Amino acid sequence: MSKEELIKDILDVINSENSGLGLAQRLSEIEKIVNYYHNGEPIEIYPTFTEECCVETDKYCFVASRLRKGGGDEFYPDISITFTDKRTGDRDTWKEDYWDNNEWFKGILEGNIESIASLDEEIGLCLQGKRQLKGFLNRLVEEGWLV
């Protein structure tokens, strides 16, 4: 609704003395029109759609995401992974981290010493978690997500 349409609709209600509506009813109608003007019209948005792949175990959760290019079926080459460490047992204290470094992911798969060391030093993954992450990354390579 344009501003001109809003004003016209309000004037129509104000000038509707012969419509049988009392003053209170006309004010209520004006309020509805104004509320619609402020709340009713949606704003056009242009979302970026994503696709996700998830692996969840009793200790960890890995969620890989990739962004769709435009409106087509192609995806950007980089992925991100949201990592959740559930070892505390209490959902309120789970640790969540966000990773978006494809070179680091590839380093883990290739056995790069620095990449593997960061799993111990910065993240503190146990051996099972490291093996699960590596299996997850391998699967993402097989599916064409990680190149």
SS3 at position 102: helix
Amino acid 128: pLDDT: 93
Amino acid 18: pLDDT: 61
What pTM does this model have?
A: 0.70
* 26 neighbors 48 (Cβ within 8 angstroms): no
For residue range 102-135, list pLDDT tens digits in order. 999 999 999 999 999 998 888 899 999 999 999 9
* Encoded tokens for 37: 């003007």
* Encoded tokens for 140: 């993402």
Residues 6+ apart with CB under 8 A from 28: none
